[in-house]
Amino acid sequence: MALNKQKKLQYIEQILEEVKNDNIDGKEDSILIEVALDFIDDLKEGKSNENT
């Protein structure tokens, strides 16, 4: 599924909120954090799979 810039930012925001609220276990939920980091890299490079 292709995600635009706004959806990536919303996902990153949600993950950071969950980390802040201590709702994410670093070991069990590491894939969620990895995806957020991948989205950050995409945004740094100006990549988006749809219109921004």
User: For the CA atoms of the chain, what is the radius of gyration?
Assistant: 12
**pTM assigned to the model:** 0.77
51 vs 28: CA distance, rounded Å: 33
pLDDT in tens, 1-52: 578 999 999 999 999 999 999 998 878 889 999 999 999 999 998 866 655 4
CA-to-CA separations, 50 to 8, 22, 27, 46, in angstroms, rounded: 11, 32, 31, 11
- Say if CB 3 and CB 11 are below 8 A apart: yes
50 vs 34: CA distance, rounded Å: 21
